[in-house]
Amino acid sequence: MLENIQLLLDNPVALLNLLLDGIMIGAIFALIAYGMALVWGVMNIINLSQGEFVIFGGFIGYYTSTDWTLAIGPSASPWVSLEWGGISPLWALVIAPLILYGIGRAFYALVIFRLVDRDLFTSILATFGISIFLQQLMNGVFTAEDVIAQHGMGSWVLVDGTTGELVIEQVRVIALVFAVIVGAVLTFYLRQTRGGQAIRAVAQDARAARIMGINADQVYARTYALNAAICGAAGVLISMTLVIHAFSGLIYTVRAFMIVVIAGLGNVAGVIAAGLGLGAAEKVADIVIGTSYQTAFITGLLLVVLLWRSLRLGRQRKVLR
Amino acid sequence: MSSGFATSRFSRGLILTCVVLAILAAVAPVALPTLVKQMTVFWVMVIIAYTWDTMGGQLGYNSFGNVVFFGAGMYASAVLQIAPFTDMAAYTAAGEQGGALVLTNAQYFAGLLPGLLVAAGVGFLLALILGFAILRLRGHYFAIGTLAAGIFVAQIVANWEYLGAGSGLTMPGFPGKGAAGDQAKSTFFYYLCFGLAGVTFLFLQWLYSTRFGLAANAIRDDEDKAEAMGLPTGRYKIIAWAISGFFLGICGALYGNFVIHVDPEDVAFDGAGLGVWMVLMVVLGGKGSLWGPLIGAVLFHVTKELLWTYLLGLQYVVLGLLVIVIVVFFPEGIVGWLRQRFPNRFGERVEAGEVR
């Protein structure tokens, strides 16, 4: 462990590379957390099926990039097709949010609307049920293998020296840029448009909003579906940069929850900072304590964050709630 | 929710019901020898449900992390039963190819007893330590915090070479060979699990009938008020969790010995499986009630066995659906529903014409 830290300190370029990598991944985490904070803030529901929506989006990314020629013949226009016959998973960034939006709407209409006024434990357990249901369904219907969406993009080698190399994968830059764009569009939507105003009004006081003529159920449905769509996009980005597995959703939920707990509800800047920080911290931890401890690191970090926050509140005789 | 149960001492009806249940349970393995295995698992489920109810039902602290104590007890007894007789590290390194450890009768039982005791101690201590830290959290933070704790411990054990890491370890074989030995093992652990379930049930019912039960329910109803009344809420919560940990530790040790093969993520610290099932059973039966966890365990276990038999491959999908349906439509559970329907039978007096 100590020698790993020493190794990193001896190779500042490698460390920089690691941090940059982590920050670009962290942008995706921030995106997922943004969606979770949206649902939590507006509907008072902690959506534990967040990670499964992400993985679902990831599978859509994966399947767009697989060999379609077997199913529908060679792709007609060469600029969308990849060498192996699939289309670029970047197209899934459009497809996945649309599909997930529909799935979000469906889950809202079937289950979530019954949870809006219920206590948080009910919503936690019910969304955990959705999470189990979805992960098992994906495991059965899609594949139980680790998959990755092939994107055919290269990387930029900035520094190639003895103190480590600085390589930036183009796809990660795209992930970062896309996450930033989605975040910006969402912020604009929530701040400047009528639809966004309605969401914020319902978040502040659902009853008053209803009296003012806002269809709160519609707003809830839209919020939940919007969150699913965000997760879908984030999932596509993850399928291109990391690995997708049917059962790996829960850890994204934990990450998102942790980011929201660190940042607090309604703090967009905090979510971004915490997301980027988490991404970077994970990358460093991967080297220092090893990738086999990755999940332990994330869950352990969540416990530390929760305890740290509750201890700080405890000094003022308050509790985290 | 008022708690008529907690204040009622052992009544005649209760004692009679217990005796009838005990006799039925005692003759069950003789009457249905082919189902002994399933029935053993059933009693394990009952213990798990009742210990979850201590926190979830009586104190209102919904834990997803009780599997920690279950798994810790399992591994603690494994070490106690293996390490004295062979080189533990070499044994776990050999894994399944090495075969199960063969012990003499005397060795097996000489290892089992201290194994169970230490498992209880480990569950108890771990709950004290974990509770000291994590019970500062409330509500959903506690729920997700315990979920994280469960995954955390599972991952640590999955990386622990001495305990066989991710592939787990094999418990020593029960003395006796072939089908007869297997049956003997199942019957042996059936009675142990049944006994433990009985002790757990009686102890917890006694506990709820004391001052402790009142304090626990006060914490559930309004923790701030309970604290303002001068109750040492922190201490009550930690002790309640430690008691769950104590029984869960033994239960885990028994279950580990029963299933023989122990591995961190699917058997010992199965947060997404067992960790949710224990919540589900209690919610299904009725939180904070006398018979709720038992009824929930019966229904859940039967459903689960049927799913595993007839819908293999889809069983977890259906279980996920079940979680959603039960939580959304029956949050009060069966006992809660009965109580609303027939309040008189639960010792609640309803005035004529009162609108409920």
- What are the backbone dihedrals phi and psi of residue A169, each rounded to the nearest 5 degrees, phi first? -75, 130
Residue B277 within any structural domain of the chain: no
C-alpha distances (whole Å) from B252 to each of A240, B187, B191, B202, B274 are 41, 17, 15, 19, 11
Backbone angles phi and psi of B170, in degrees to 5: -110, 130
**How high is the pLDDT of residue B339?**
84
* Distance to chain B for A216, nearest Cα, Å: 20
- Whether B292 is covered by a domain: the verdict is no
Q: Work out the average pLDDT over B9-36.
A: 82
What does the pLDDT look like over B43-94, one tens digit per residue? 999 999 999 999 988 998 989 889 999 999 999 998 888 888 877 777 777 7
How distant is the Cα of A256 from the closest Cα of chain B, in angstroms? 12
Backbone φ, ψ for residue A242 (5° rounding): -120, -145
Q: Is A140 close to B314, i.e. CB distance below 8 A?
A: yes
pTM above 0.80, yes or no: yes
In the predicted model, what is the mean pLDDT of chain B?
A: 85
- Pairwise CA distance, residues A121 & B55, whole Å: 14
Whether residue B141 lies inside any domain: the answer is yes
Per-residue model confidence as pLDDT tens digits over A273-301: 999 999 999 988 988 888 888 889 999 99
Categorize the per-residue pLDDT at B10 as very low, low, confident or very high, splitting at 50, 70 and 90: low
Task: Give the DSSP H/E element, type plus range, for residue A278.
Answer: helix A268-289
Helices (H), chain B: 4-7, 12-31, 36-53, 67-82, 88-94, 105-134, 139-158, 178-209, 211-221, 223-228, 233-259, 274-285, 292-310, 315-329, 333-341
Helix (H) or strand (E) holding A171: helix A170-192
| Chain A residue with minimum CA distance to B223 | A319
Summarize the confidence of residues B157-162 as an average pLDDT.
86
How many residues appear in chain A?
Answer: 321
Is B120 among the domain residues? yes
Whose tokens are 């500062």? That residue is B136
pLDDT digits (tens, 9 = 90+) for A223-234: 999 999 999 999
Mean pLDDT of B131-139: 87
Split at pLDDT 50, 70, 90, the class of B298 is very high
Residue B335 domain-assigned (yes or no):
no
Choice among A76-90, B23-37, B229-243 with the minimum mean pLDDT: A76-90
Residue B3, pLDDT > 60, answer: no
Asked if residue B19 belongs to a domain, the reply is yes
- Is there a contact between A87 and A263 (Cβ–Cβ < 8 Å)? no
Are B167 and B106 contacting, i.e. CB atoms less than 8 angstroms apart? no
Residue B312 lies in a domain: no
Q: Is A161 on the interface with B (CB under 8 A)?
A: no
**How far, in Å, CA of B257 to CA of B112, rounded?**
9
- Asked if A59 and A305 count as a contact pair (C-beta separation under 8 A), the reply is no
DSSP state of B311: S
Tell me the average pLDDT across B180-193: 88
Q: Count CB-CB contacts under 10 A for residue A306.
A: 25
Give the Cα separation of A27 and A33 in Å (integer). Answer: 10
- Each residue's pLDDT tens digit, B218-274: 999 998 899 899 899 889 999 999 999 999 999 999 999 998 888 888 888 887 788
Contact A46 B324 (CB under 8 A): no
Q: Is residue B288 part of a domain?
A: no
Q: Domain tally for chain B?
A: 1
Q: How many CB atoms lie within 10 A of CB B297?
A: 26
Query: A-chain residues within 8 Å CB-CB of B137?
Result: 306-307, 310, 319-320
Whether residue A157 is predicted with pLDDT greater than 80 in this model: the reply is no
Could you tell me the residue range of the domain that residue B43 belongs to?
A: 4-271
Among candidates A126, A135, A137 on the partner chain, residue whose Cβ is nearest the Cβ of B327: A126
